Amino acid sequence: MNEPSVVSAIAGVIRRDLLLAARRKSEPLFTLGFFVLVASLFPLSIGPEPELLRRVAPGVLWVAALLAAMLSLGRMFAADYDDGTLESIALAPVPLVAAVLGKVAAHWLVSGFPLVVVSPLLALQYGLPADVIAMLMISLLIGTPVLSLVGAIGAALTLGVRGGGVLVALLVLPLYVPTLIFGAGAVDARLAGLDPGANLSLLGACLALAALFAPPAIAAGVRIALE
C-alpha cells in the first residue's frame, strides 16, 4: 500500500466522521458544555479569593478537560460497530491502523480541540495572567490528543460490552495520570515563574509514545471486538 493511499484513507475517515458530527451537534456541544460547567463551578464553590483561585486553576482546568474528553470515548466506535460500518472499514483494502487513526483524529477535532479554544475564557475566571493562559493552551494542545489516543484503546477494547462506558473509565484513567501531571505541571510552573520546558518535553514524549503505540493497539482491539 503506497503512502498516498494511506493518507487518503485517513483523510476520508476524518471527513466522514466530521460530517456525521456536524449532523449530531448535540454530542460535541455536550462535551464542551460539560467542560465549561465543571470549570465554572469551581470558582463559585471555592470563593472569590484571587490567590487561591490562581493556585488551583491548573489542576482544575486540566481535570475538567480530562473528564470532558472521557465523555465522548464510548461513542468513538459504538455507532459504526452497531450498524456494521466498522466491519466494512476493517475489510477495506487499507490498513485498519490508518482508519482508526483517522477516527481518533476526528474525535480530537470534535471533542478535544474545542476545549483548547474555549480554555482561555475559562482561565479568566481564575485570574490567570496572559502568559499562563498561553501555556494552558499549549499544554492542552499537546495533551488532549494523548487523551484521545489512549482513550480510543479503552473504547476499542470495550466494544459490544455491556456497561462499556464504566469499563473505559477504569481502563484509561490510570493511563491518563502522566498526561494530567505534566500538563497541569507546565501551567503551574509558568504560574510560579519557573521554566515549564521539562513538563512540556515530558508531555510531548507522552504524545509521541501514544502516537506510535496507540494506533496498532486500537486496531487490535477493534479486530478482537469484530471476531
pLDDT at 5 exceeding the cut of 70: yes
Among all chains, which residue has been given the C-alpha cell 502516537? 211
pLDDT at 165 exceeding the cut of 70: no
What pLDDT, on a 0 to 100 scale, did the predictor assign at position 76? Answer: 83
Residue 6 makes CB contacts below 8 A (sequence gap 6+) with 94, 95, 98
What pLDDT, on a 0 to 100 scale, did the predictor assign at position 153? Answer: 92
Q: What's the mean pLDDT when you consider all of the chain?
A: 88
pLDDT digits (tens, 9 = 90+) for 63-104: 999 999 888 887 788 878 877 888 888 887 888 898 899 999
**Position 163 confidence tier, pLDDT thresholds 50, 70, 90:** low
**Nearest-angstrom CA–CA distance, 166 and 163:** 6
Q: Looking at per-residue confidence, does 96 or 145 come out higher?
A: 145
pLDDT digits (tens, 9 = 90+) for 167-214: 888 889 999 999 999 999 999 999 999 999 999 999 999 999 999 999
**Nearest-angstrom CA–CA distance, 31 and 204:** 24
Give the residue-averaged pLDDT of 138-158: 93
Count the alpha carbons within 13 Å of 120 in the hemisphere toward its beta carbon.
11
Cell of 13: 475517515
pLDDT at 2 exceeding the cut of 80: no
Cell of 47: 470563593
Cell of 117: 479554544
What pLDDT, on a 0 to 100 scale, did the predictor assign at position 184? Answer: 95
Domain ranges of the chain: 3-226
